[in-house]
Amino acid sequence: MNRLRSLRLRLVLIVVALLAVVAAVIGVVSVVVLQSYLVGQVDNSVRSAVQRATHGPGDGDGPGGGFVLGQGEGTVIALVQGGAVVSSGYLDADGRQQTLTDTAQAAILDLAADGRPHTVDLDGSLGEYRMIAVLSTSRTTALVTGLPLSGVQGTVGQLGTIFGLVALAGLALAAIAATLTVSAALRPLRRVAQTAATVAELPLDRGDVDIDVRVPEKDTDPRTEVGRVGAALNRLLSTVGTALAVRKASEDKVRHFVADASHELRTPLASIRGYSELTRRTQPDLPDEVRHNLGRIESEAIRMTKLVEDLLLLARLDSHRELEQEDVDLSLIVVESVGDAHAAGPDHEWELDLPDEPIVVTGDEARLRQVVVNLLANARVHTPAGTTVRTSLAAGVDGAVTVRVADDGPGIAPAVRETLFERFARADASRARATGSTGLGLAIVRGVVEAHGGTVGVESRPGETVFTVTLPPAHAGLAPAPDSTPDGMTTGAVPARA
């Protein structure tokens, strides 16, 4: 059980158990000491009674019929001769002499005649006795004298009861006091644990995290154990906070570098492409080989431009830059993109499923267009000729908009299934290089969709691959940028990649 492991319960149990042991030891010792003291007193009285019985009226060999007279209440006197009780009796509460029962007499016969007190259990209402047996001068007769232990037992019993009750009450009080004290002592620890739990819930793995949670000042007193834990946790939080800030700064640096580099590369790439095209066009009598090489330079420059644009867009998405927030006619984007895809891939079947009313969302038109274009490009590039690609657009009851791109191609290769939406995730890297695939398309899809507060999912098996993009309804508000640090990145609209 979990409760048994709690420190509070354990401490309380330990305190109560220790107290119980101490109380038990004190109680037992007191009872034993008191009992032996009281029994000693009874023994002295018995000895006096022996004196009175042997030196009282009558001869030395045995008192006559009224031999217990003159003794105290309860006193038992017996004469033993030849292994049998010849005369016996005791005084009852009214001072009258009573005879002993047979069992009591038998118990008396077992007594050793050594003149020392022994405890004898007499039968019936008499109970336990301290008895002394002395031999007469002729050594034929033994005189047995005894006094009851009932008084001693009553006193000892009462002491034991009182002690037990007081001990129980004390234990109950101690348990309550210990619970309160321990709870109070552990309360700071609970606050420290609360702080740690709060920090554990912070999304520390992304963005600009500022850990401003700290253990309260009053729980960081280094003179107490809990205070030291609290202070150590605060130091740890500061260190982690600094480390995260450093990490963030270096990430930002890399991001800026990628963005700047991509941006800077666009112009020379455009020049390479432009000059090769110009040369090819204006020099009609170029040898075929040169013409071919110029064509290669041109297509590679186009490919590199696309890669650079993708990297720039990803870097910008990473730094959570504000998106445009305009009304975007998604129906139009889908119609145009499918038309372009048809032109680029005439060997595929292109189907379109649109609602009658145009569907409008709030967001960045160029980037949303790129989402659709990337999904259609995948359905074209990664499937064989003859594949049917069905694009559908629908608005849900809650206004959320769904774009589905489904194809009946071979499905997504298992090798990339896990990392599909990550950067540079490609099924076959060596083949991909030949086809100009870089593996950034779906990373961009996810980045853009999530920046719009939407989700993207995929289901794929041979013969059916479906990408589903869900976007929030128009004017639902874009996902709040968790990190809106002003960045020093180069600005400029990102052109759509159509």
Ligand X SMILES: Nc1ncnc2c1ncn2[C@@H]1O[C@H](COP(=O)(O)OP(=O)(O)OP(=O)(O)O)[C@@H](O)[C@H]1O
Residues making contact with Mg ion (CB under 5 A)? 378, 441
**Among 427, 474, 476, 481, interactor with ligand X by CB under 6 A:** 427
Is 498 an interacting residue with respect to ligand X (CB under 6 A)? no
Q: Name the one range near ligand X by CB under 6 A: 234-242, 248-256, 277-285, 403-411.
A: 403-411
Closest CA to 489 of 262, 250, 304: 262
> Shortest Cβ distance from residue 359 to ligand X (Å)?
23
Tell the smallest beta-carbon distance from residue 460 to ligand X (Å): 7
Residue 379 interacting entry, from Mg ion, ligand X, none, C-beta within 5 to 8 Å by type: ligand X
Question: How far apart (Å, rounded) are the C-alpha atoms in residues 219 and 228?
Answer: 8
Site for ligand X in 429-458 (CB under 6 A): 432, 437-443
Determine the interface stretch with ligand X among 18-26, 291-299, 334-342, 375-383 (rule: CB under 6 A): 375-383
User: Is there binding between residue 496 and ligand X (CB under 6 A)?
Assistant: no
The pair phi, psi for residue 428, each rounded to 5°, is -135, 95
**How far is Cα 476 from Cα 322, in angstroms, rounded to an integer?**
16
Kindly tell me which of 145 and 378 has the beta carbon lying closer to Mg ion: 378
Is residue 383 close enough to count as binding ligand X by CB under 6 A?
yes
Q: What are the tokens at 156?
A: 């000892």
Minimum gap (Å) between residue 307 Cβ and ligand X: 8
The CB-of-280 to Mg ion minimum distance in angstroms stands at 28
Quick one: 88 exposed, middle or buried, by C-beta within 10 A (0-12, 13-18, 19+)? buried
407 part of the interface to ligand X, by CB under 6 A = yes
> Cβ of residue 455: shortest distance to Mg ion, in angstroms?
19
What span, in angstroms and rounded, lies between the C-alpha atoms of 378 and 441? 8
Nearer to Mg ion, 263 or 497 (CB): 497
Picked from ligand X, Mg ion, none, the partner binding residue 70 (CB below 5 to 8 A depending on kind) is none
What is the rounded end-to-end Cα distance, in angstroms, of the chain? Answer: 63
Is 425 one of the binding residues for ligand X (CB under 6 A)? yes
* Candidate ranges 12-20, 150-158, 217-225, 413-421; the one touching ligand X (CB under 6 A): 413-421
- Which residue number has the CB closest to ligand X? 441
Beta bridge partners of 395: 401
Total number of residues that touch ligand X (CB under 6 A) = 24
Give Cα 56 distance to the centre of its chain: 87
**Distance (Å, whole) CA 420 – CA 88:** 111
Q: How far is the CB of 453 from ligand X (least distance, A)?
A: 21
Cβ proximity to ligand X, 68 vs 440, nearer residue: 440
Q: Which of 402, 384, 370, 418 is nearest to 466 (CA)?
A: 402
CB contact at 8 A, 411 and 427: no
The nearest distance, CB 354 to Mg ion, in angstroms, is 23
Per the DSSP assignment, residues forming a β-bridge with 80 are 85, 142
- Kindly state the smallest distance separating residue 438's Cβ from ligand X, in Å: 4
Residues 6+ apart with CB under 8 A from 388: 348, 349, 351, 407, 408
Burial class (CB in 10 A: 0-12, 13-18, 19+), 249: exposed
46 or 445, CB closer to Mg ion? 445
CA neighbor of 390 nearest in space, from 334, 436, 440: 334
The residue assigned the tokens 């074209």 is 380
What residues make contact with ligand X under the rule CB under 6 A?
A: 374, 378-379, 382-383, 407, 409, 411-413, 416, 420, 425-427, 432, 437-443, 465
